[in-house]
Amino acid sequence: MADTSNFEFSLIMTIVNRGFADVVVDAAREAGARGGTVFYARGTGIHEIEKFFAVSIQPEKEVVMTLVRRDETQKIIHGIVKAAGLNTEGRGLSIVLPVSNAVGITHYNEDE
């Protein structure tokens, strides 16, 4: 496993059912994040496919990507989990990935 202790940023990826991205973004901002990126996806897991009149339906998802300072990660992810109810089965999931390099981030200054 790679040493991630020197990475300045983390990427929090949260996948929720369509319509819940705003809850995630609001919770992340309230916990200190500066914004996020939302895009649409569809679930393909074994529990995601449902039948409706013998037609397979794959529920639509929203993915929220939030780039945060590494030292703020735990506070922000705990806010997301609480607000979006991710401790409840079927509500979604959130993962954290270390970011080894990021370009174009202008609102994070060393003076802050």
Q: pLDDT tens across 96-109, in order?
A: 999 988 888 765 55
In this structure, are strands 55-57 and 50-52 parallel, antiparallel, or unpaired?
Answer: antiparallel
Is 108 domain-assigned? Answer: no
Is 1 domain-assigned? Answer: no
Examine the pLDDT at 65 and tell me if it is beyond 70: yes
Is 2 domain-assigned? Answer: no
* 13 neighbors 97 (Cβ within 8 angstroms): yes
Is 112 domain-assigned? Answer: no
Look at residue 60 in the predicted model and tell me its pLDDT.
Answer: 86
More confident position, 111 or 92: 92
As a whole number of angstroms, the distance between CA 54 and CA 59 comes to 15
Helix axes 21-30, 73-84, angle to 10 degrees: 140
Count of structural domains within the chain: 1
Look at residue 112 in the predicted model and tell me its pLDDT.
Answer: 45
- Provide the residue range defining the domain that includes 79: 9-99
Is 95 domain-assigned? Answer: yes
User: What is the rounded average pLDDT of the residues 22-26?
Assistant: 96
Look at residue 54 in the predicted model and tell me its pLDDT.
Answer: 55
Is 3 domain-assigned? Answer: no
Cβ neighbours of residue 34 under 8 Å, at least 6 residues apart?
107, 108
Look at residue 56 in the predicted model and tell me its pLDDT.
Answer: 53
User: What is the rounded average pLDDT of the residues 24-51?
Assistant: 84
User: What is the rounded average pLDDT of the residues 65-81?
Assistant: 96
As a whole number of angstroms, the distance between CA 36 and CA 45 comes to 25
Is 79 domain-assigned? Answer: yes
Read off the pTM: 0.79
Domain CATH number, residue 66 = 3.30.70.120
**Which strand ranges, in their side-by-side order, compose the sheet holding 37-42?**
37-42, 60-69, 9-17, 92-99
Look at residue 46 in the predicted model and tell me its pLDDT.
Answer: 59
Q: What mean pLDDT value characterizes the chain?
A: 83
Is 26 domain-assigned? Answer: yes
